[in-house]
Amino acid sequence: MEKQDEFLFAGGPEPEMQPPDPRAGFYREVAGTWGLPVGQKIHLLLRRHDLSDVVGILEMERAPDLPLNPKEPLRLSAGGVAFLSTQVQSWNIIG
């Protein structure tokens, strides 16, 4: 008997097979290390930036160097606005 591979199906009207995103674990590790909701839609307040109020999906502009060091600032963006993790004053996840 041959080994059967695992199938992953995406939700939606027409399910399709898709492999798991290999970056998901890395994003979770970065989010946990810096305490920021990377990949989620957020409302955040920035300090020392031209814009103080930003809404959008929090994304990494550049992956941090390994090993991860939370003392190094992350290059982030949300809603088309680039900033550093050290400029984040506060954030809220938007449902």
pLDDT of residue 56: 96
Domain span at residue 79?
Answer: 38-93
SS3 content of the chain, % helix, strand, coil (to 5): 15, 35, 55
Q: Residue 6's closest CA among 15, 14, 17?
A: 17
In a domain, 88, yes or no: yes
In a domain, 74, yes or no: yes
- The residue written with tokens 């103080």 in the block is 52
In a domain, 48, yes or no: yes
How many domains are there within the chain? Answer: 1
Across the range 19-39, mean pLDDT stands at 87
The tens digit of pLDDT for each residue in 41-54 reads 999 999 998 888 99
Give pTM, 2 decimals: 0.74
Do residues 65 and 71 touch, judged by C-beta distance below 8 A?
Answer: no
In a domain, 87, yes or no: yes
In a domain, 19, yes or no: no
In a domain, 24, yes or no: no
Residue 10 pLDDT exceeds 80: no
pLDDT of residue 60: 95
Residue 64 pLDDT exceeds 70: yes
β strands within 2-93, DSSP E: 41-46, 53-57, 59-62, 75-78, 81-84, 88-93
In a domain, 83, yes or no: yes
In a domain, 76, yes or no: yes
Give CA–CA dist 58/13, Å, rounded.
Answer: 28
